[in-house]
Structure 1
Amino acid sequence: MSIAEPARARGRRTRARILQTAAELFAAHGHAAVSVAAIAKAARVYPHQITYYFGSKDGLFVHASLSTLLRDAVRLEPIGLRQRGPGAFRSALARTALALPSVPAAVQAMSISRVRPELQPVAQTYLAVLFRRAEHYLVELLARRGWAVDRPAAVEVRTFWSAVLGARLISESGYGGRSADVDLAGVMTVRER
């Protein structure tokens, strides 16, 4: 006799599968080239399930892009921990953050949420998590290394991520130059105490 999986657990698993599949498809092909039907087929769900869980293709894109950014941001932590001095820390984090493959899609997702008011709370939630995790990491690192910052840690991480996202937005908007033309390391104030 088999016990049926509870509906709520099955729903969470289905939602996670849709999100993961969409993130992979959007990363490979971009927002415009991926249809709801293609996502549904790849995730082995019905198209109306995407609407049920995410509201729309744009809603799914915002969730997928920003959740991928959260996952990729964790990659900065061990890189920062390996650095012995504040200057090396600032440079390594700046270089790595600008190269994260999820940043362009995150910028696009925030642009979509700006014009879709129902998606603004989604973007705000993901950004709040990003900032909170980054602040926790920074506070622990500062305590471990005996380093300091010239402003509150919360302001430091918001400034850093705003500069990362802004640099990519400028570089991808057609302006000549690259995101590396921004002195992202100079935006951070991490220093010896």
Structure 2
Amino acid sequence: MTGDTSTPRTERTRSTRQTIIEAAARLGRERSGGQPSVAEIAEAAGVFPNQITYHFGSKDSLLVHAAFLALLHDTRRVERVGRQAADPEAFRRGIARVVLALPSLPLVAGALALGIGRSELAPVIDRHLQLLFRQSERYLHTILDSRGWTADRPIAQEARTFWSAALGGALLAQAGVQGSAADLDLAGTLTVRGASEID
């Protein structure tokens, strides 16, 4: 006999985890600085504080999950801007502008910073980054195929280079490095071209 083998308890566990992650993501986006406390997250999720430890092991692990969830939600806005771009130049500029303004970008930079000193968070961060890269690759493939555009390098490298620059810039900003989004030529990391731009 085949079919869904999930038990009611398993479904409840997944639902509780998702509720906690979404509450943490929402709180993180609502405040531009400072992390929400375990008590605040638990109250927003309607759970007991010890359930956060039970499901995630630590507050830091939860914040990593929440930051990437917020970013994946925000990428819908990025994809919408890209689809509306009339030409490759508008695509490059539009994508870069929107990504640098995403409210979730500082959250993910903070998650990356947490992982620097916490080796147990590395697999969690890597898993989320790989998902982000794969989603971006699929999106770029769709855009290039539908518009007849090309890129100067493999799509996987294009996606990784772009997000590495964006997250690196956000991480530098969190570290207190002076500058602004205007100092980062994020659009220049994209090599998407139309026929008229190819020599």
TM-score (norm 2): 0.89
Of 131, 134, 146, the residue aligned with 1:132 is 134
1:162–1:103 CA distance, 2 compared to 1 (3 A)? same
1:32–1:91 CA distance, 2 compared to 1 (3 A)? closer
* 1:30 positional shift: 6.1
Of 59, 82, 85, the residue aligned with 2:84 is 82
The answer for the alignment partner of 1:41 in structure 2 is 43
The reply to whether residue 53 of structure 1 matches residue 55 of structure 2 is yes
The one-letter code matched in structure 2 to 1:66 is F
The answer for the alignment partner of 1:167 in structure 2 is 169
The one-letter code matched in structure 2 to 1:91 is R
1:57–1:32 CA distance, 2 compared to 1 (3 A)? farther
State the superposition RMSD in angstroms.
Answer: 1.6
1:31–1:185 CA distance, 2 compared to 1 (3 A)? closer
The answer for the alignment partner of 2:3 in structure 1 is none
* 1:93 positional shift: 0.3
The answer for the alignment partner of 2:98 in structure 1 is 96
The reply to whether residue 105 of structure 1 matches residue 119 of structure 2 is no
Q: Please give the residue correspondences for 1:114-133 in structure 2 after superposition, counting only pairs within 5 Å.
A: 114-133=116-135
For 2:16 and 2:176, how far apart are their aligned partners in 1?
38
Q: Is the 8 A contact 1:160 1:187 kept in 2?
A: yes
The answer for the alignment partner of 1:182 in structure 2 is 184
Number of matched pairs: 189
1:31–1:84 CA distance, 2 compared to 1 (3 A)? closer
SS at match of 1:75: helix
TM-score (norm 1): 0.92
The one-letter code matched in structure 1 to 2:168 is G
* 1:32 positional shift: 4.4
1:155–1:33 CA distance, 2 compared to 1 (3 A)? closer
Q: Please give the residue correspondences for 1:2-13 in structure 2 after superposition, counting only pairs within 5 Å.
A: 6-13=8-15
